[in-house]
Amino acid sequence: MRFRLTKLLGLLGPLLAAAPPAHALDAETLFQQLSPSIWVVQAMDAQGQIFSTGSAVVIGPERLVTNCHVLARASSFKLRRGNLTLGGKLEFPDPERDLCQVRAEGMKAPAVTIAPARSLRVGQKVFTLGAPRALEETISDGLLSALRLDNEGKLRFLQTSAPISSGSSGGGLFNDKGELIGITTAMIAGATVQNLSFAVPAEWIRDLETRGRAVLAKRNGTISTPTAATPAPPALTQPPAALPAPAAPPVAMAPPAALPAQPVRPPAQLPPAGAAQSAPANPNSVRSGERWYGLMTCGARADNGEFSQAYQAHFEAEVGKVAISLHRRDAIRAENLTGQFGSNRLDITGFGYRVNDPDRMWQFRFTGSITAGAPIYALKGDMLRGQESVRKCELVIAKM
């Protein structure tokens, strides 16, 4: 009898392992369950005017988490869902991980459940909930495409095929049980690049208070000693004056072997909320301790010339406070690009040439809107022959 039972279990084992979990939620049920926990963040300037929006996820009584870059230039902010709008206060900032905990006094909304990082599986079904372009209560689905690790082998980013867009930053990435697995932070989209969406691990939220207190203590020159009696930090109208910039997620392709995956870097600084950035004494100086790389993707040549197929190229990058340069060289091509950061804008131009025939040259022209403190720069542009565009290209610049 025991032999028969063992044999039966052996036959059923693969079938049971392949079956989907019985408690998996469909999109409609998951949306109904989770949408009350997703709020719109309205970032306002010194005049009280809304200049950008993002998303936030409820993690506790009157507490939400969002991306720090959503609040980077705000003098104040509010949280809205439906007809209800509440004032927000910054509690614990961790811009190095691009996570900020905020408080909305009087908010009554259910907190989400955070899934442990060990439960993540590449290929699993995932859902994003957020407020793209301030359109609240928006859901989309996809797969967990990859788990991106740092140079110590620790989880750094979740890559997903679920689309996100402007305003989704700070929203939730959920598994099919309705558990929070990530906070959506960036997306690259375009005709020549497959949609690339990234989230930071939700498990980091457990460390947010401790790390946030350390950031505030460093700003105030005090020792951080978390206690229940410690008062809440001030509202965002008096923001931390020197916060490390949020890290940028990598793109889908692995960087060249010569570049480490995620080297440790000293904190950079974000400007105080509502304050304009001033140019450094040396605009071309490289930000100390930071490593950057670029990925350029170009479509097929419009003129059907030689080497007409689409191609991708990795660049080493040097990023200063207002200037940027990228360069690469292989057995066939050498390309160099330079540009400067403007007011919420980045323009890059450059040239390339054949290594064995330097007289055969082409030009590049890229432009894109950027946000101070944003985790990634994505630009669109052209490869030019003279004044004629021969390829449509996209350029992504990310911090390692």
Q: Which of 37, 44, 28 is nearest to 66 (CA)?
A: 37
135 and 238 in a common domain: yes
Which residue range(s) make up the domain with 221?
22-247
334 and 199 in a common domain: no
Check pLDDT > 90 for residue 246.
Answer: no
Check pLDDT > 50 for residue 320.
Answer: yes
The DSSP bridge partners found for residue 366 are: 348, 381
Does 93 map to a domain?
yes
For the chain, the average pLDDT equals: 75
Is 229 exposed, middle or buried (CB count within 10 Å of its CB: 0-12, 13-18, 19+)?
exposed
Q: What tens digit of pLDDT does each residue of 260-277 get?
A: 333 333 333 333 333 333
The set of residues, in sequence order, having a beta carbon less than 8 Å from that of 360 and lying 6+ positions away, is 353, 354
Does 243 map to a domain?
yes
- Which of 225, 247, 269 represents a domain boundary (last residue)? 247
Predicted structure pTM score: 0.57
Does 278 map to a domain?
no
Check pLDDT > 50 for residue 107.
Answer: yes
Does 257 map to a domain?
no
90 and 169 in a common domain: yes
pLDDT at 127: 95
Does 280 map to a domain?
no
312 and 392 in a common domain: yes
82 and 199 in a common domain: yes
Number of independent structural domains in the chain: 2
Q: What tens digit of pLDDT does each residue of 285-318 get?
A: 444 446 677 888 888 887 666 667 787 788 888 8
Q: Select, from the ranges 17-31, 236-250, 281-295, the one with the highest average predicted confidence (pLDDT).
A: 17-31
Check pLDDT > 80 for residue 1.
Answer: no
Does 169 map to a domain?
yes
300 and 217 in a common domain: no
* Paired tokens of 282: 């040396």
* Paired tokens of 313: 């190229």
240 and 91 in a common domain: yes
Check pLDDT > 60 for residue 193.
Answer: no
**Residue 214 sits in a domain of what CATH number?**
2.40.10.120
Mean pLDDT of the region 348-356: 85
142 and 219 in a common domain: yes
